[in-house]
Amino acid sequence: MDVLEAIKERRSIRAFTDEKVSEKDVERLIDAARWAPSAGNTQPLELVVVKDKEMKRKLSEAALNQTFIQKAPVVIVVCADLNRSSRGYGSRGERLYSLQDTAAATENILLAAQELGLATCWVGAFRDKEVAKAVKAPKNMKPVAIVPVGHPAERPLAPQKRSVNEIVHYETF
């Protein structure tokens, strides 16, 4: 599958089959994440791979009771090491670059999963402190995304997207 096709075909999936995700596929997702660009190559990315039912339940509750999270065979919690991002960049690195870097890694996970025939959903609505507590994150780690991964049990239609003319401006607004 070419990358543009993967971008257009990817959907946020909230229903998964009971089929397991292979260790090899999980490793491929992790590898895709680590190849994401990073400001100054600081690489603040930290991933927590969760398969334990109780841990997934805690993450689901922390994510405002989005119960589909606990039904995924694998959940990846994407975190940013704020100390790494602040090196050389100070507060801008901590507040902005850490989020940009981990967002790029999250998108790489989503696209790699699409290529592998897996389903994902980028979950950003959650209580940070509860997620951090659930995964026992050190103080300098900021949870940025929760990504449930599994085999799709649904095939949603493509959402409407704004036209190119609505979003592109040349030189100025």
Could you tell me if residue 25 is inside a domain?
yes
Q: How much is the pLDDT for 88? A: 84
Residue (of 123, 112, 110, 39) closest to 77 by Cα position: 123
Could you tell me if residue 9 is inside a domain?
yes
Number of domains in the chain: 1
Tell me the pLDDT band of 125, cut-offs 50, 70 and 90: very high
Q: Give phi and psi for 138, each to the nearest 5.
A: -60, 165
Could you tell me if residue 165 is inside a domain?
no
Could you read off the pLDDT of 45-92 as tens digits, one per residue? Answer: 999 999 999 999 999 999 999 999 999 999 999 999 999 999 989 999
Could you read off the pLDDT of 106-118 as tens digits, one per residue? Answer: 999 999 999 999 9
In terms of residue numbers, what domain contains 127? 3-155
Tokens encoding 18: 């009971």
